[in-house]
Amino acid sequence: MVKVDALQVHLKTLSSGAAMSPLYIFSGDEPLLMMEAMDQLRIAAKKLGFTDREVMVQERGFDWSSLMNAGQTMSLFGDKRWVELRIPTGKPGRDGADALKQFAAQISEMPVGSDGPDTVICIVLPRLDGKTKTSAWFSALDEAGMAIQIDTLDRIHLPRWIAGRLQKQDQEVEVGPEGQRALEFIADQVEGNLIAAHQEILKLGLLYPTGKLSEEQIRSSILKVARYNVFELTEAMLAGDLPRLNRMLDGLKGEGEPLVLILWSVTEELRLLSKLKAASDAGEPIQQLMRANRIWGNKERLYPTAIRRVQPLKLRKAMQVAAGLDRQSKGLHAADLPADPWDGLRLLGNLLR
């Protein structure tokens, strides 16, 4: 499985005369980035004559033989074919898994002419967990074609992404601290909602001419369209990023996110942090601890610094606050805590700075 950078290299080879692969697999949970990556490949395919497009969606009762036939059936009009199979859940089931393995074998044995295949199959999946990536059906597809993983854009990389988008429409922020503040402002307003971020950046292109954008212009034009989730909240907590944590709490509260779910997620993270902190202080290697507890992604970067930063006394106090917030959420009294549990969560975040 390759990253999206490898797809860009592949697209350049196609424009230089290379043949397309008969099979592509896209996996990711960021709609904008998925859509753009697939659009790039579809445009390249169309230039190579793949003009007959068919889209299938795996739903209850899906006939998997239609996938098997797709690689063998010729277009009624003699055009090359582009066939998409969307598997929204990423779980094809037992019959689907068997069909996908058989299909991968069929692709591998399919004769390909000098100008490449006559049919290209594109399978679209959500972000896959580690177990699914090592499953027999996905491994077979990965070996038979080109599997591309579209990663979610981390908050830390969002300002640079925004700057790149502005550059594509011949705009840029001011040089120095003012420009960086402007990029951070946009990132705060659009975090977790890249489609809306894309629209806000396009809006700047409509409102202002090419060239430099002032911080004032940006602040007066960008709407707050950020969306947050509980998992990102725990990342902000581990990072000790109190301003971001407070923004997320405001957003989650405004969206009506259940407090019980947030408290459960935060408490589980605190328990794991306490466990790893104690083990690390006892001399166990942090990297080994993270592997044993299946910590990966952004948290693989955040846990080592959190373990070193948070003192045991504050961690114990945070656990006590979390227990008190749990009592509050059940309608019970909790001494020494704010009346509003959401404010208690801010207190908890302050302990982990």
For 4, the 3-state DSSP assignment is: helix
From residue 21, how far is each of 82, 131, 146 by CA, in Å? 12, 26, 7
User: Closest Cα partner for 111 from 2, 26, 19?
Assistant: 19
The percent of residues above 90 in pLDDT, for the chain, comes to 69
Residues 110 and 206 both lie in one domain: no
Residues 235 and 207 both lie in one domain: no
Any idea what the CATH number is for the domain that residue 73 is in? 3.40.50.300
Read off the pTM: 0.76
Residues 264 and 292 both lie in one domain: yes
Structural domains of the chain, count: 3
Boundaries of domain holding 133: 2-150
Residues 117 and 256 both lie in one domain: no
pLDDT value of position 118: 87
Q: What is the 3-state secondary structure (H, E, C) of 83-135?
A: EEEECCCCCCHHHHHHHHHHHHHHHHHCCCECCECCEEEEEEECCCCHHHHCC
pLDDT exceeds 70 at position 71: no
Separation of alpha carbons 79 and 229, rounded Å: 45
Where does a domain end: 196, 221, 246?
221
pLDDT digit string, tens, across residues 116-133: 788 899 999 999 988 899
pLDDT exceeds 60 at position 74: no
Any idea what the CATH number is for the domain that residue 272 is in? 1.20.272.10
Separation of alpha carbons 181 and 120, rounded Å: 45
Any idea what the CATH number is for the domain that residue 161 is in? 1.10.8.60
Residues 7 and 109 both lie in one domain: yes
Where does a domain end: 197, 221, 245?
221
Residues 20 and 138 both lie in one domain: yes
Contact predicate 223/186, CB 8 Å: no
